[in-house]
Amino acid sequence: MKNAYESPFSTRYASDEMQYLFSADKKFKTWRRLWVALARAEMKLGLPVTQEQVKELESHLDDINYDVAQAREKQVRHDVMSHVYAYGVQCPNAKGIIHLGATSCYVGDNTDVIIMKEALQVVRRKLINVIHLLAKFADEYKSMPALAYTHLQPAQLTTVGKRATLWINELLMDLEDLDYRVSTLKLLGSKGTTGTQASFLDLFDGDSKKIDELEQMIAEEMGFSSVVPVSGQTYSRKMDSQVLAVLSGIAQSASKFSNDMRILQNFKEMEEPFEKNQIGSSAMPYKRNPMRCERITALARYVMIDSLNPAFTAGTQWFERTLDDSANKRISVAEAFLAVDSILNILLNVCDGLVVYPKVVRQRVLKELPFMATENIMMEAVKKGGDRQELHERLRTHSIAAGKVVKEEGGENDLIDRVCADPAFMLSHDEIDSILVPENFTGRSAEQVTIFLNTCVRPIEEANREILGENAELSV
């Protein structure tokens, strides 16, 4: 359709897999599965529901007669009752027991939880694969010295691989949050119009035990261990807020990574993949813009802001429920998942093809290393009989002068030449060059990478080996 709005998540960004989870087909097929689960449980607990009726409902789980439902909704203005009617048209013998005792939120809310859980599993799989790709990168470059930065100013050296562990560590924090949220998600169950289960109390002639059994049977059939202990008409909207907080966390980590990469690409130390025929700029043919990481940054910003939607919704629900959640919820939750799916697709693509330029990385290290090595130079001169306090002052003076040459004159860092020419240091160029070995200034970086990967990443890879190896093709 070229004459109506289309979501970029559908046309450019999100995977078919994630789009399906938030499609009408997935939603209404899940409604039918919930109606079957309800009917089956009611039958087993002695209500007037027959096996033949359950089988009839099962025979039409997936062939939804949308035309009937849509025509009915135009008349009654109620989506759930329209689909109850349409299901009944296909299942005339079971028509009278569909949705027995339930309220709209039985299908609406339970479906939302089911879809969020399945969507979190998709996010989890892709997140673990991003971690896996970055772990391989960190291991490969764990010993390559690189400038580290505090305040975006050169600081002590790190390694290319050690920096990657910072990205991985935040993603591991997100994975931990995600796993906890998945493990604690609960269905709404069958709570009735205000959460009191009054309709089911009537159906079961006051037998509370059967109501509890009903909920447990439905939960287990839908793949959950339990239902929420209490509710109004809906599950607490804090559940949506908590789920989107997990997605926001992933967006935060992705944004940190993408911004670091954009700066590193400016430094010409690292680049995201750049395809053979890719055009970087319509005006400047030489440009290699970090467009994938820029897209990550943009989508991450959207998710972080979007996570406020369910937070406000949760905070403004009145008593047992109000309907101001519905329109907001169906947009904000779906699009948060679609956006995070898009972000992870790009991360998979970028992390599978990260480019490092070792000569540039080392050149930038060597330009700054003389300043970082001043304490080591001073110690060598003291060993030869120099005065530590005098040497410190001379180094301070030489460093300021060398910095002035670099910043004000655009020249090269000549600190080492100044030190060699100063008889107070008694050091030759060869002696100082033996000090200026970048690998001697990276501390425990390489060791930290190995320990981190072995203790924090390898166990996750081993436990999830069957899902490793995923990459993502980008449509644009």
What is the set of active-site residues?
151, 281
Give the SS3 label for residue 155: strand
Place of tokens 């991450």: 300
DSSP annotation of 232: S
Q: Let me know: does 32 contact 65? Beta carbons within 8 Å.
A: no
Q: Let me know: does 394 contact 433? Beta carbons within 8 Å.
A: no
CA 131 – CA 166 distance, rounded (Å): 11
- The amino acid at residue 165 is T
Q: What is the DSSP string of 400-433?
A: HHHHHHHHHH-----HHHHHHH-TTT---HHHHH
Q: Which residues contact 424 (CB under 8 A, 6 or more apart)?
A: 381, 386, 387, 390, 391, 394
CA 133 – CA 468 distance, rounded (Å): 9
Task: Give Cα separations from 29 to 22, 32, 86 (angstroms).
Answer: 12, 5, 13
CA 315 – CA 237 distance, rounded (Å): 8
CA 456 – CA 460 distance, rounded (Å): 7
Q: Let me know: does 128 contact 175? Beta carbons within 8 Å.
A: yes
Tell which residue, 54, 59, 52, 55, has the closest CA to residue 40.
54
CA 387 – CA 411 distance, rounded (Å): 30
Give the SS3 label for residue 228: coil
Q: Let me know: does 240 contact 117? Beta carbons within 8 Å.
A: no
Tell which residue, 397, 391, 401, 389, has the closest CA to residue 426.
391
Backbone angles phi, psi at 185, to 5 degrees: -65, 135
Q: Is residue 277 packed enough to be buried (19+ CB in 10 Å), middle (13-18) or exposed (0-12)?
A: exposed
CA 291 – CA 269 distance, rounded (Å): 17
CA 57 – CA 105 distance, rounded (Å): 20
Place of tokens 């030449």: 417
Alpha helices in 268-317, H assignment, sequence order: 291-306, 308-315
Q: Let me know: does 412 contact 405? Beta carbons within 8 Å.
A: yes
